[in-house]
Amino acid sequence: MKIKTKQNHFFGALKARTEAKGGITLEDDFTGETKFHYKDFGSIDWYRELAVDQRKRAREKEKAENSPNIVNYVRSLADAASGWIIVTVIGLLAGFAAGVIDIATKWLSDLKSGYCRGHLYLNQEQCCWSDNLHGIDEDNCTAWRDYGNPNSYGGHVLLFIMYCLMGTLFATIAVILVKMIAPYACGSGIPEVKTILSGFIMKGYLGFGTLLVKTLTMPLAVSAGLMLGKEGPLVHVACCCGHAVSQFFPKYRNNQAKLREMLSASAAAGVSVAFGAPIGGVLFSLEEVSYYFPLKTLWRSFFCALIAAFSLRAMNPFGNQHLVLFYVEYDKPYHLFELFPFIILGILGGLYGILFIHMNLSWCRFRKRSLLGQHPLLEVVILALGTSILAYPNPYTRIQSGHLIRLLFKECKRYDDNPLCDYDYSKNATTVFSDGITQASWQLILALIVKSALTVITFGIKVPAGLFIPSMVTGAITGRLIGIMTQKIIEAFPSSPIWEGVCADPTSCIEPGLYSMVGAAAALGGVTRMTVSLVVIMFEVTGGLQYIVPFMVATMASKWIGDAFGKDGIYDGHITLNEYPYLDVKIDMQQQKVRSIANNWTLTSIPFQGSTTEKLCTMLADHPYSGFPIVTTQGRLVAFITREDLHEGIAAGRMLISDDPNDEFIDQTVLFTMSTPLVSAGRVPIRLNNVIDYSPVTISEQTPIALVLEMFRKLGCRQVFVIRQGELVGLITKKDLLQFIYETRNNDQTSYSQFK
Ligand code: ADP
C-alpha cells in the first residue's frame, strides 16, 4: 500500500499529513478550506460557519506574522478590504438597478397615454424637453402625441381603451416572464429575504435569473397600474445584487453566515434606493429583515446604503434636485392639540393593518385552494384589466400611486394648482368649504375604497409586487380626509378654547398635507408593524424633520392597536402562510419542556471506537441526516460530525492512501482521537479527530422550550442534543422545533412537511 502525502488533484484544497505511527490525519484546517453543503430549504449552521471563518482568519494572521513578506501583507489587506469592496459594488449596482427601474417605469407609464413622435424611447417629459428646448411645457408640446384628444368624446374613449389595453399588456408580459424564466421573481420578496437571512437556504431565490427578471418586470407591473409598489421588490433586487457580487469572493461565497452579512447590507441599500432613505434603510435591515446583525454589519450597511444613495443620485432618474421621493416644502409647526387627530390616525392605521392582513391572507389562502392559484396568468390579466377599468374614471386612482402621494402630501399654497386645495382669493386664505373640495373629497373617498380593496387582492399575484406604496396611499388619503375634517371643525368653531390661543387664522390653522404624511406612516406601520425604521424612512422621504413626533405618535398608536390583535405583520403572515421555516423572535413558549417535543428518538450514531470506512459509508448511504453524533458504548455523547466532513474526510483519507481506482477496496479503521492505540499492523487508520466537533450543544429533557428557542436564535446552532442522565437520547433540529411550534399553534400535523 502506498502512502501519498502530496495534494490530491480532486481534493485540491485538502491537506493531510502522515504520521509515522498515527496513520492519516487530516490537517487542522480541513474544515476551514471546505464549504458546508446544504440542501434546498435546509438550515445553515451559523455557529460552525462562523467558527470556521474565525479559525481561517486566525491561521492567516499567524501565517502573516510568521513570515512577514509583501505577499502575505497584501493578502491579509485584500482579505480585510473584501467586505468593504463588496458593499461598495452592491451599492453601485443597487443604485444603478433602481435608476433603470425608475426610468423604465416613467417611460412605460407615459406610454399608456401617448408616445413621442420620432423618439418612441423618450418619456413625455424628455420628449417635451427636447421639443421645447427652453423648458417643459407639456401643454404646448407638439412632439408628444396623446392617443386621443381628451376634450372630445371619441378621443376620451380612445384614451380609455388604450389605457386599459396597455396596462393589461404590460401586466401580461410581466407575468409570462416571471412564470417562464424566474418564478421566484414574483411578490415583494421581503418574507423570503427575511427567511434566508434567518439562516435558511432557498436555492435560486437570489440568483441572477431572478435579478434580471425582477428588474425587467417591475417597471411593467407598476406601470400596468396594478395596486402595487416597487419599493419592497427593490430590497429583493438589491439582495440579488449582493448575492451575485459575493460569488466573486470565496470568503463570502463559501460561508453562508458571512454571505448573510452582505445580504443584510444589501437590504439596507434596497430601501436606500427605493425611498432615498439611507438611514431608514439601515434601520429597516436591522428592525425588519436581519437576524444576525453585528456592529460590523451595521457599519457596512451604512456604507452600502450611502453608496447606493450616491449612485442613484448620480443617475438622477427623477430629473430633479431632490433625491427624496415625496419632498414637502412646508415647515409649519404643528400644534399640541393636533396630537389627538394624530393618535386617531394611528389607531385607524392599526385597524387598517389588522383588516388588511386578515383579508389579504384569507384571499391568498383562497387563491391557493382555488383555480386562481393554478392559472396565475389568467388572474393577472383579469386583475390588470379590472384595475384599469375601475381606476380610469377617478383622477386619483388613474394617476400613479407615487404621484398621488406627492399630491396628498402637498401644502395648500396661493397660486398653486393643487386640486385638493381651494384658495379663496377674496379672503386670501385656503378654504375647504367650497364645492370643489367637496367633490375632491368624494373622489378621494372612492379612491380609498377602490385602492384598498384592489391592494388586498393584488398582493400575492405572480408579478413583482410591493406593499409600501399602496399602504401609504391608503393612509395618506385617510390622513388628508381627517386633515380636511379637522380644518372644517376649526373653521366651524373658531373660538373654541382648544385652538383659539394658538391659531392666528382659523382658516389656515393646520396643514392637511401633514395629516396625510402621518396617516401614511400609520397605515404602513399597521401593515408591517415597523416602528423606528418607519419613522426615519418617513422623515427622510418627506424631508419633514420637525414632524418626527407626529410620526412617532401615529406609528406607536398603530403598532399598539395592531399588536393587540396579533403580533404578526404582513411579512410574518406570509412567512407562516407559505410555511417558510422561520424561527420568529416573537414566539412565546413559556410552558413546555423539551420532553414535549418527543421522548423516544431513534438516533443514528457513530460508535466512538470500532468504526470502519465501510460501516460509515453504508451509514452515509442509508441515512440522509446532515450530521451524526459520536457516542461511547455507554451511550455518552463525545462529539458530532457533519455529513460533509465525514464523507470528505473518509474520501480524502482513502485518496491519500491510494488514488489508483484499480486498487482493491480497503476497509480502513476510522479513529476519532489521537490517543487510541493503533489497530492491526500494516493497516493505516484514518484519523478524523481534527474535523469533528467536540463541543456540540447539549440540553436536558427538562430544559424549557423557551430556552431552546433562544439557543437556536442566539447561538445560531443547527441542532442541539438531548441528554438524559448523562446519556444521549435525542436531537432537535431547528425544523423539529418549528414543526413543534407550528403544531402547538395550529394543531396541524402536516405543516413544514415540504421542507423535511
Ligand atoms: P435539516 O432538516 O435541518 O437539514 P437534518 O437533515 O439533520 O436537518 O435532520 C432531518 C430530520 O432527521 C430531523 O427531524 C432530525 O431530528 C432527524 N435527524 C437528524 N440527524 C439524525 C440522526 N443522526 N439520527 C436520527 N435522526 C436524525
Please report, for residues 256, 637, 700, 732, the alpha-carbon distance to residue 724 in angstroms, rounded to integers and kept in the order given. Answer: 33, 11, 6, 14
The whole-angstrom separation of Cα 272 and Cα 279 is 7
625 lines ligand 1 (CB under 6 A): yes
Quickly tell me which residue has 425604521 as its cell.
Answer: 533
Among 376, 330, 318, smallest CA distance to 180 is for 376
Q: Answer yes or no: is pLDDT of 22 > 50.
A: no
Pocket test for ligand 1, best of 731, 737, 756 (most atoms within 8 A of CB): 731
Q: Answer yes or no: is pLDDT of 258 > 70.
A: yes
* pLDDT value for 676: 55
Please report, for residues 65, 206, 261, 455, 471, the alpha-carbon distance to residue 367 in angstroms, rounded to integers and kept in the order given. Answer: 61, 25, 35, 15, 21
Report which ligand 1 atom has the smallest distance to the Cα of 605.
23
754 lines ligand 1 (CB under 6 A): no
pLDDT interval class at 16 (50, 70, 90):
very low
Output the CA angle 173-174-180, nearest 5 degrees: 85
Amino acid at position 106, single letter: K
42 lines ligand 1 (CB under 6 A): yes
Q: How far is the CA of 183 from the centre of ligand 1 (A)?
A: 29
For the record, the C-alpha cell of 646 comes out as 465525514
Q: Answer yes or no: is pLDDT of 374 > 80.
A: yes
HSE of 172 in the Cβ direction (CA atoms, 13 Å)? 10
Dihedral (Cα; 129, 132, 137, 143), 10-degree rounding:
-80
* pLDDT value for 24: 55
* pLDDT value for 421: 72
pLDDT interval class at 245 (50, 70, 90):
very high
Mean pLDDT value across the chain: 84
Q: Answer yes or no: is pLDDT of 433 > 70.
A: no
Q: Is 145 helix (H, G, I), strand (E, B) or coil?
A: strand
Q: How far is the CA of 722 from the centre of ligand 1 (A)?
A: 13
Q: Which has the higher per-residue pLDDT, 335 or 662?
A: 335
The whole-angstrom separation of Cα 752 and Cα 198 is 16
The whole-angstrom separation of Cα 668 and Cα 686 is 7
Q: How far is the CA of 42 from the centre of ligand 1 (A)?
A: 11
The whole-angstrom separation of Cα 583 and Cα 192 is 13
Maximum distance among all alpha carbons in the chain? 110
Q: Which has the higher per-residue pLDDT, 455 or 143?
A: 455
The whole-angstrom separation of Cα 301 and Cα 155 is 51
* pLDDT value for 316: 76
* pLDDT value for 8: 36
* pLDDT value for 663: 57
Percent of the chain with pLDDT over 90: 48
SS3 content of the chain, % helix, strand, coil (to 5): 60, 10, 35
Helix axes 435-458, 468-492, angle to 10 degrees: 150
pLDDT interval class at 28 (50, 70, 90):
very low
Q: How far is the CA of 736 from the centre of ligand 1 (A)?
A: 8
Among 696, 584, 627, smallest CA distance to 195 is for 584
Q: Is 693 helix (H, G, I), strand (E, B) or coil?
A: strand
Provide mean pLDDT across the span 590-611.
83
Q: How many angstroms separate the first and last alpha carbons of the chain? A: 43
Provide mean pLDDT across the span 33-60.
80
Q: Answer yes or no: is pLDDT of 48 > 60.
A: yes
Amino acid at position 666, single letter: I
Ranges 1-10, 366-375, 459-468: which has the least confidence: 1-10
The whole-angstrom separation of Cα 683 and Cα 348 is 77
Provide mean pLDDT across the span 25-33.
48
* pLDDT value for 87: 97
pLDDT interval class at 756 (50, 70, 90):
very low
Ranges 10-14, 163-167, 360-364, 744-748: which has the least confidence: 10-14
Q: Cα Rg for the chain, rounded, in angstroms?
A: 31
Provide mean pLDDT across the span 660-674.
69
Q: Whose CA is nearest to atom 17 of ligand 1?
A: 625
Quickly tell me which residue has 442522565 as its cell.
Answer: 725
Q: Answer yes or no: is pLDDT of 261 > 60.
A: yes
Ranges 125-134, 327-336, 338-347: which has the least confidence: 125-134
* pLDDT value for 585: 67
The whole-angstrom separation of Cα 240 and Cα 209 is 9
Provide mean pLDDT across the span 253-269.
95
Q: pLDDT tens across 517-554, in order?
A: 999 999 999 999 999 999 999 989 898 888 999 999 99
Q: How far is the CA of 621 from the centre of ligand 1 (A)?
A: 15
* pLDDT value for 185: 95
8 lines ligand 1 (CB under 6 A): no
Report which ligand 1 atom has the smallest distance to the Cα of 735.
3
Total Cβ atoms within 10 A of residue 449: 13
Q: pLDDT tens across 444-453, in order?
A: 899 999 999 9
* pLDDT value for 570: 95
Q: Is 18 helix (H, G, I), strand (E, B) or coil?
A: strand
* pLDDT value for 225: 92
Using an 8 Å Cβ cutoff, are 705 and 594 in contact?
Answer: yes
For the record, the C-alpha cell of 204 comes out as 435560486
Among 54, 55, 75, smallest CA distance to 64 is for 75
The whole-angstrom separation of Cα 624 and Cα 704 is 29
Domains, the chain, ordered by start = 5-22+587-755 (3.10.580.10), 81-315 (1.10.3080.10), 336-577 (1.10.3080.10)
Q: Answer yes or no: is pLDDT of 394 > 60.
A: yes
731 lines ligand 1 (CB under 6 A): yes
Ranges 53-57, 377-381, 463-467, 702-706: which has the least confidence: 53-57
581 lines ligand 1 (CB under 6 A): no
Q: Give this prediction's pTM.
A: 0.87
Ranges 6-10, 198-202, 345-349, 408-412: which has the least confidence: 6-10
* pLDDT value for 445: 92
Among 692, 573, 569, smallest CA distance to 639 is for 692
* pLDDT value for 640: 93
Question: What single-letter DSSP state applies at residue 659?
Answer: -
Using an 8 Å Cβ cutoff, are 255 and 275 in contact?
Answer: no
Report which ligand 1 atom has the smallest distance to the Cα of 628.
23
Exposure string over 115-132, b if 16+ CB within 10 A, otherwise e: bbeeeeebbbbbbbbebe
DSSP letters for 47-71: HHHHHHHHHHHHHHHHHHHHS--HH
Q: How far is the CA of 443 from the centre of ligand 1 (A)?
A: 58
Q: Answer yes or no: is pLDDT of 27 > 70.
A: no
Q: How far is the CA of 261 from the centre of ligand 1 (A)?
A: 27
169 lines ligand 1 (CB under 6 A): no
The whole-angstrom separation of Cα 686 and Cα 18 is 10
Q: Whose CA is nearest to atom 19 of ligand 1?
A: 625
Q: Whose CA is nearest to atom 14 of ligand 1?
A: 736
Quickly tell me which residue has 384595475 as its cell.
Answer: 387
